[in-house]
Amino acid sequence: MHHHYHTYKHWLWMFQHLPYSVRVVVLVFVAAWVALLMHELAHALVARMLGVRVWGISLGRGPLLWSGTIGSCQVRVGLLPLHGEVRLMDQDAEALGYRRIGSPKPAFQWLSGSSWRAPLITAAGSVANLLTAKAVAAYWAVIPGPIPPLFSLSICCFVVNAVMFLNLMPIRGLDGWRMALQAAAWRRGRLVQT
């Protein structure tokens, strides 16, 4: 216990003696990783909870830090927390309604009895970011006296997770775009039925 406390104090002292701009970059970098992890793991967890198999998870871009398999899931971790992706097993993705998987023009077809899971999986990442931001706000409400680096990190985590909620905007490549395609497919399916 004493050794861990000493190590923590050492890292805290080193961090506080970094130039301010470097400290901000480090805090934002760590906060971005927290947000990306929460987002992608939520997609994967909700998929698994709904009986959809996950083929792989990609976290980050840039230089490869680690690549391997966890269970039957392919995992790739890049240095920069700029992008993530959960790839479902092709067979399971097709059963949800995804078409032309991996092509430049993917599509979605609403399949009654199965496709309802797709928007839940898609929304899970942004919901996880919102819940993380709320957890940070709850942390602020209960801490007696904020420890400066932890307080700064919590501010960065709050801001980055709140900004990640913008992922629900209907812009190509974002979750909001996928949800718009799913909603349009649902509507087309309803029109065909009537």
What pLDDT is attached to residue 189?
A: 84
Q: What is the value of pTM for the model shown?
A: 0.89
- Alpha-carbon distance of 186 to 116, in angstroms, equals 9
Confidence of residue 17 (pLDDT cuts 50, 70, 90): confident
Q: Tell me how long the chain is.
A: 194
Mean pLDDT on 93-109: 90
Nearest to 73 by CA among 90, 96, 89, 50: 89
What pLDDT is attached to residue 106?
A: 82
Residue carrying structure tokens 């942390």: 139
Tens of pLDDT, residues 144-174:
776 777 888 899 999 999 999 899 999 988 9
pLDDT averaged over the chain? 90
Q: Three-class SS of residue 135?
A: helix
Tens of pLDDT, residues 114-143:
999 999 999 999 999 999 999 999 988 888
What pLDDT is attached to residue 152?
A: 87
Nearest to 175 by CA among 184, 163, 164: 164
Taking 80 as the threshold, does the pLDDT of residue 8 lie above it?
no
Q: b/e string for 33-68 if b means 16 or more Cβ within 10 A? A: bbbbbbbbbbbbebbeeeebebebbbbbeeeeeeee
**What is the number of other CB atoms lying within 10 angstroms of the CB of residue 93?**
22
DSSP 74: E
- Percent of the chain surpassing pLDDT 70: 95
Confidence of residue 89 (pLDDT cuts 50, 70, 90): very high
